Amino acid sequence: MSSDNSTEQLENDVEDTTKDRYMTFNIESEKYGLEIAFVKEIIEMIPITRVPGSPEYVEGIINLRGDIIGVVDVRKRFGKQPKAYDEQTCIIVVEYQEYVLGLIVDSVNEVMTIEEERVQAPPSAKLSQLNQYIRNIGQLGDGVVLLLDLERLLQG
């Protein structure tokens, strides 16, 4: 019995560690967040092979320890000015349903908890190009985190 309880406890803990937890990163001055459950890993920039015929924002493919995955430049995806990659630039590898994709971001911040009551839907009125990838907005004491809609983002 006791072992059952502890297993259950453990599962709850695992769930708790991902619930309301977001990986945050920066693009320009904005702070964005991704649900931690979808984030596989964060890697530094590695050589990217361009695939001819793909859209501008799709940087190409990388060799992630033998797996080939696609990489998207989030800046370009959001229609922002491209910026030269530096030592801060990172690739966040996300896994969503059957897709595994790398997202190039300016820099990675921290993993933080944003409670449900501090998360609200974005203003629906203006659906600008950027706005359609934002699912929710998280309120922080010193600003906001734009929480990304990964499904939308992956729809090439």
Phi-psi region of 79 (alpha: psi -120 to 50; beta: other; left: phi over 0): left
For other proteins, the closer of residues 74 and 145 by Cβ is 74
For other proteins, the closer of residues 123 and 156 by Cβ is 156
Tokens linked to 59: 């940087």
Size of the site for other proteins (CB under 8 A): 22
Q: Which of residues 99-118 bind other proteins (CB under 8 A)?
A: 99-101
Q: Which stretch binds other proteins (CB under 8 A): 5-13, 17-25, 65-73, 81-89?
A: 65-73
Question: In angstroms, what is the minimal distance from the CB of 98 to other proteins?
Answer: 7
Q: Which stretch binds other proteins (CB under 8 A): 2-10, 28-36, 93-101, 113-121?
A: 93-101
Interaction between residue 53 and other proteins (CB under 8 A): yes
Q: Are 42 and 25 in contact (CB under 8 A)?
A: no
Q: Which residues pair with 25 in a beta bridge?
A: 32, 108
